[in-house]
């Protein structure tokens, strides 16, 4: 359906609050999520998912830009890195924050509506809770990046404040990922409600690629043929017994007359 692929891509967004540690993998996350939200997967079910895909397209250039800055840092090109970063930091942060907020609004809307359609109230509540956390997280980001509050920074060092917001961001993303994984485990395609448990312990198949069936051995094929023969033989015997019982019953009625 697409939730497994979405889960894998979304987990890569953990690199956003962890950029200070040199981790920058959200560009790959955007690419994977674009696949999950495409029209032949989640995008066909809810308008929220289709709109989230459009927002994800907007986020992709930001991921590429972040990766480019990280490459400059890895290559030791500190002068060029500082020049580009200082020139674009404010605009980049504002536009990225607005795009992420829009993406999560549509994504959580799609999850909530899909969960309502299949009457999974726990996932509905998770989506509503995560909406509140999303608003809180972006308010904290604005406060840390754009507001100079001496009354706060005098009590809590700025670096500690950034650490607290980053930790909250990690918790927020993990809770969103947990909600998406619950969707993967509990929401299925129409008609698959009684399907057997997922193979591989419930782990998602990244791009919904169907596994090729392994060729069966001669013993397995022979066992299947024998099982099918027994099934047909038992069905035939049952039908013959039923016919014989019907004839016996009819003959008894004839004798009584």
11 shares its domain with 66: yes
Would you say residue 207 lies in a domain?
Answer: no
Per-residue pLDDT of the chain (257 residues; tens, 9 = 90+): 789 899 988 888 776 655 544 456 788 888 999 999 988 889 888 899 999 999 999 998 988 888 888 888 778 888 887 888 888 888 888 888 889 899 999 999 999 999 998 889 999 999 999 999 999 988 888 777 666 555 455 555 666 777 788 888 888 888 999 999 999 988 876 655 555 555 544 444 444 444 444 566 777 778 888 888 788 888 877 877 777 777 777 666 665 55
Distance CA 191, CA 34 (A): 26
Residue numbers of the domain that contains 246: 215-257
Quick check: helix, strand or coil at residue 208?
Answer: coil
Would you say residue 240 lies in a domain?
Answer: yes
82 shares its domain with 27: yes
Number of separate domains in the chain: 2
Would you say residue 209 lies in a domain?
Answer: no
Would you say residue 127 lies in a domain?
Answer: yes
The predicted pLDDT at position 52 comes to 93
The predicted pLDDT at position 208 comes to 45
Q: At what angle do helices 78-117 and 121-146 cross, to 10 degrees?
A: 160
Would you say residue 10 lies in a domain?
Answer: yes
The predicted pLDDT at position 210 comes to 44
Tell me what percent of the chain is helix, strand and coil, each rounded to the nearest 5.
Answer: 80, 0, 20
Would you say residue 208 lies in a domain?
Answer: no
pTM: 0.67
180-211 in b/e form (b: 16+ CB < 10 A) is bbbbbbebbeeeeeeeeeeeeeeebeeeeeee
The pair of structure tokens assigned to 133 is 């956390």
């Amino acid at each position: 359906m697409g939730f497994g692929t979405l889960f894998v891509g979304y987990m890569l967004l953990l690199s956003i609050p962890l950029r200070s540690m040199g981790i920058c993998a959200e560009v790959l996350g955007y690419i994977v999520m674009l696949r999950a939200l495409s029209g032949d997967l989640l995008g066909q079910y809810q308008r929220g998912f289709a709109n989230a895909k459009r927002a994800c397209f907007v986020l992709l250039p930001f991921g590429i830009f972040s990766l480019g800055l990280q490459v400059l840092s890895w290559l030791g090109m500190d002068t060029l890195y500082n020049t580009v970063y200082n020139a674009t930091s404010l605009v980049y942060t504002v536009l990225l924050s607005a795009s992420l907020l829009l993406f999560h609004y549509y994504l959580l809307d799609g999850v909530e509506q899909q969960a309502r359609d299949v009457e999974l109230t726990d996932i509905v509540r998770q989506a509503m809770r995560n909406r509140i956390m999303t608003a809180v997280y972006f308010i904290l980001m604005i406060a840390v990046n754009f507001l100079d509050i001496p009354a706060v920074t005098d009590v809590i060092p700025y670096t500690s404040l950034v650490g607290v917001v980053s930790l909250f961001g990690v918790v927020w993303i993990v809770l969103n990922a947990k909600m998406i994984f619950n969707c993967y485990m509990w929401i299925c395609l129409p008609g698959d409600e009684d399907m057997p448990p997922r193979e591989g312990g419930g782990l998602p198949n990244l791009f919904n690629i169907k596994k090729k069936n392994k060729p069966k051995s001669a013993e397995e094929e022979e066992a299947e043929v024998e099982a099918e023969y027994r099934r047909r033989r038992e069905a035939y015997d049952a039908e013959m017994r039923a016919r014989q019982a019907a004839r016996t019953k009819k003959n008894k009625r004839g004798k009584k007359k």
